Amino acid sequence: MTATSAAHDAATATAAEGVAYDLVLRGARVLVDGTVAPRQVGVNDGRIAAVVPYEETLEGERVVELGEHQVLLPGLVDTHVHVNEPGRTEWEGFDSATRAAAAGGVTTLIDMPLNSIPPTIDVAALETKQAVAAAKAHIDVGFWGGAVPGNEADLRPLHEAGAFGFKCFLLHSGVDEFAPLTPEAMEDDMAILAEFDSLMIVHAEDAGTIDAAPEPSGTGYAGFLASRPRSAEDTAIQAVIEAARRTGARAHILHLSSSDALDAIRAAKADGVRITVETCPHYLTLEAEAIPDGATAYKCCPPIRERANRDLLWEALADGTIDCIVSDHSPSTVELKLAGGGDFGQAWGGVSSLQLGLSLIWDEAKRRGIALERVVDWMATNTSRLVGLENKGRIGVGADADFAVFEPETALRVDAAQLHHRNPVTPYDGRELTGVVASAWVRGEQVDFETPRGKLIRRGEA
Ligand SMILES: [Zn+2]
């Protein structure tokens, strides 16, 4: 119990006999354990203390009655966000990123270790980032560490300081201060991580395959796509699978794009290799065939591929081969994103979508006949499981009172300039979607976009 809530309990105990909960949310559509039903949720001290059928009456100091058109979901957990602060705060920052996240129904994010300066490759850097985030976070924020050449001795201390796992690249990361590992060095680091059962998360594109592919240049998307072939992902993913198999470490494939890698992943999972996989809204809702010339807002690595590839990724979500959907929100300044006047070789690679993920995925899932419950599995349940946050990503007694109030039938027209993202460049600008986030709640408090009430979270603290 916090000092504030203790004081407030003392004040209300005499004022209102019989008030059982700080907050009660009531609605016809509340998602619990994979089913939507009329329910009431009672919250005390930021945690869910009761979940009962709608007919029972929970008394609360504050009672929020949801509309018929609203669904109470667990707050989403986005485990792949590049916040970029400190060092590149002009690209994004904890204030803008966490407001955007909340507006999109995300109540927990895990920040990637690169694009900030310093990158999160030792405990001092982690503490620097935590200090910056603590004062600005509107939602809960945790951190990945980085595995780079020469920081083997920093892995365990970072783990003990609360890092949720370690990211590595197998090719140039896009920024010089975060160097890639060779597949051999990745495996050596995974052997270290296996000692304390941490997780290696991998940007899986093979450097040699990319080097041998044509250079990206010009305004045509086909040229860019040819520069990042599926085989680069397939080769790197095979290396991750084999390293995980040999070391026994847990490994996670970041932002899967190539559907050609799915069979190898299926086979590895069937063999008991400890591997999980994520993909992103841009691979699931966009298609190479429709990307206009010069539209570098769509540039990301690995690239958005063809329509048929996208359909196979959806199949892999449905059968559990892909576990999670995360944003990989990776913005830059407008100048860098549009550098070269539409030349795909020069623009920054990264898609901005933190605020839009749920609307994008729900809009596409609905079109494909997929239920909202499954979307929440991929964006909240499985992502929180990935990072061991047992008290996030679900509505149930004992869990943090993190919610997204979602209107799945309400129309949304994306206006990049209206998003909380710091830089108004996104390939989704102008897109018509169905599904709007009405509010986000973090540990029983509605995010108000003014007072940052988010907390820092650390591995193992749950
Ligand atoms: Zn990323």
Q: What local confidence, expressed as pLDDT, does residue 294 receive?
A: 96
Q: What local confidence, expressed as pLDDT, does residue 8 receive?
A: 40
CA of 330 to the centre of ligand 1 (A): 6
Q: What local confidence, expressed as pLDDT, does residue 292 receive?
A: 96
Q: What local confidence, expressed as pLDDT, does residue 462 receive?
A: 60
CA of 179 to the centre of ligand 1 (A): 14
CA of 289 to the centre of ligand 1 (A): 23
E strand intervals along 129-274: 140-143, 145-146, 166-169, 199-203, 250-253
Q: What local confidence, expressed as pLDDT, does residue 217 receive?
A: 86
CA of 402 to the centre of ligand 1 (A): 24
CA of 80 to the centre of ligand 1 (A): 6
Regions of the chain short of the pLDDT cut 70:
1-19, 462
Q: What local confidence, expressed as pLDDT, does residue 1 receive?
A: 37
CA of 33 to the centre of ligand 1 (A): 30
Q: List the Cα angle 352/180/245 in 5-degree steps.
A: 100
Mean pLDDT, the chain, integer:
94
Burial of 125 (0-12, 13-18, 19+ CB in 10 A): buried
Adjacent-strand bridge partners of 329:
81, 351
CA of 359 to the centre of ligand 1 (A): 20
Residues with Cβ within 8 Å of residue 242, at least 6 apart in sequence = none
CA of 308 to the centre of ligand 1 (A): 24
CA of 113 to the centre of ligand 1 (A): 9
**How far is residue 149's CA from residue 167's CA, in Å, rounded to a whole number?**
12
213, amino acid identity: A
CA of 201 to the centre of ligand 1 (A): 10
* pLDDT tens for each residue of 26-36: 999 999 999 99
- Which residue matches tokens 């309990």? 9
* pLDDT tens for each residue of 123-158: 999 999 999 999 999 999 999 999 999 999 999 999
CA of 19 to the centre of ligand 1 (A): 46
The answer to whether the beta carbons of residues 250 and 323 sit under 8 Å apart is no
Q: What local confidence, expressed as pLDDT, does residue 237 receive?
A: 98
Residues with Cβ within 8 Å of residue 51, at least 6 apart in sequence = 30, 32, 39, 40, 41, 42, 395, 396, 397
pTM higher than the cut 0.75: yes
Q: Cα Rg for the chain, rounded, in angstroms?
A: 22
CA of 69 to the centre of ligand 1 (A): 34
What the block records as the tokens of 345 is 């070789």
**How far is residue 400's CA from residue 387's CA, in Å, rounded to a whole number?**
15
